[in-house]
Amino acid sequence: MDSHPAILETRGLTREFSGFVAVSDVNFTVRSGMLHALIGPNGAGKSTLFNLLTRFLAPSAGQIFYDGQDITKARPASLARRGLVRSFQISSVFPHLSVHENVRVALQSKHAETFGFWKSDGGLSKYDDAVDSLLADVGLEPYAQRIAVELPYGRKRALELATTLAMEPRVILLDEPMAGMGQEDIQRTAQLIQRVAKGRTVVMVEHNLSVVADISDRITVLRRGEIIAEGDYDTVSADPEVRQAYIGGSHD
Ligand SMILES: Nc1ncnc2c1ncn2[C@@H]1O[C@H](COP(=O)(O)OP(=O)(O)OP(=O)(O)O)[C@@H](O)[C@H]1O
């Protein structure tokens, strides 16, 4: 397993909401280079765990380690700078800028030049090659001059992924990347995620189990705030407790 050392790890991670334990004493390990899905029935604690990992929520107890360092109290922005980047936040895209401009702004902010946003285009052309290459990575070259708000939904998500890649992430965290998508976008986005996962680590909360089956290297199943199974799709889908969780305990 040494070729895939732990890059993100929780120990005894717990989050309570007014006495209700949404995430309970979770020891979760994500190994470097894996595309790791987090699944479970409704109310299992997936979003809560995801928000704890990205430090959008503070834990009630326990610790989180990224690349061996304790990040339990780190700020989300500092984690993003260190390569732990949460994607698919619609707000990260400027709706009235073009696709090209959005990716350029993301690159500028990575290189701490946000004031350059106000400069004339001439001084910014140094980013053109990098923008083009990121747009190629997510299949958006034909859309480069389109205004973000006018993009079809699936393409907006591709743009968000491009702005995430501009941050040079080592670990990308995706919260329900397929939510609200039609079948065609789902197929394309699944392939895209698989492509950007090469050479990186991806953690993904996802409800669409056929996508999870298709693209995940490893799956963790949560139920009532606890991990009940882990492994590849064949392993977890054959697990009686997992089957029971999906058949019996999905509504609370
Ligand atoms: N801010 C909050 N205040 C109170 N309870 C909360 C809060 N956030 C989550 N919960 C509760 O914690 C439990 C886990 O919720 P969470 O959203 O993490 O589950 P989930 O697995 O992401 O569910 P879903 O698949 O429905 O999105 C639920 O019972 C939920 O009601």
Residue 249 is predicted with a pLDDT of: 47
Q: Is residue 128 part of a domain?
A: no
Contact 134, 164 (CB under 8 A): no
pLDDT digits (tens, 9 = 90+) for 60-89: 999 999 999 999 999 888 888 899 998 865
Q: Is residue 238 part of a domain?
A: yes
Ligand 1 centre distance from Cα of residue 36 (Å): 21
Residue 251 is predicted with a pLDDT of: 43
Residue 100 is predicted with a pLDDT of: 96
Ligand 1 centre distance from Cα of residue 250 (Å): 12
Pull the structure tokens for residue 152: 């079809």
pTM: 0.89
Residue 113 is predicted with a pLDDT of: 52
Ligand 1 centre distance from Cα of residue 37 (Å): 18
Number of separate domains in the chain:
1
Instruction: Give every residue of the chain whose pLDDT is below 50, as ranges.
Output: 249-252
Q: Is residue 192 part of a domain?
A: no
Residue 150 is predicted with a pLDDT of: 94
Taking alpha carbons only, the member of 203, 165, 181 closest to residue 50 is 203
Helix count and strand count (H, E) for the chain: 9, 11
Q: Is residue 14 part of a domain?
A: yes
- Write the burial class of residue 251 (CB in 10 Å: 0-12 exposed, 13-18 middle, 19+ buried): exposed
Mutate to test the pocket of ligand 1, among 28, 46, 56 (most ligand atoms within 8 A of CB): 46
Q: How many CA atoms lie within 13 A of 6 on its CB side?
A: 12
Residue 250 is predicted with a pLDDT of: 45
Count, residues in the chain: 252
Q: Is residue 190 part of a domain?
A: no
Q: Is residue 132 part of a domain?
A: no
Residue 180 is predicted with a pLDDT of: 84
- CATH number of the domain bearing residue 5: 3.40.50.300
Residue 181 is predicted with a pLDDT of: 86
Q: Domain of 241?
A: 1-75+201-252
Q: Is residue 244 part of a domain?
A: yes
Q: Is residue 158 part of a domain?
A: no
Residues with C-beta less than 6 Å from any ligand 1 atom: 17, 20, 22, 40, 42-48, 252
Residue 252 is predicted with a pLDDT of: 40
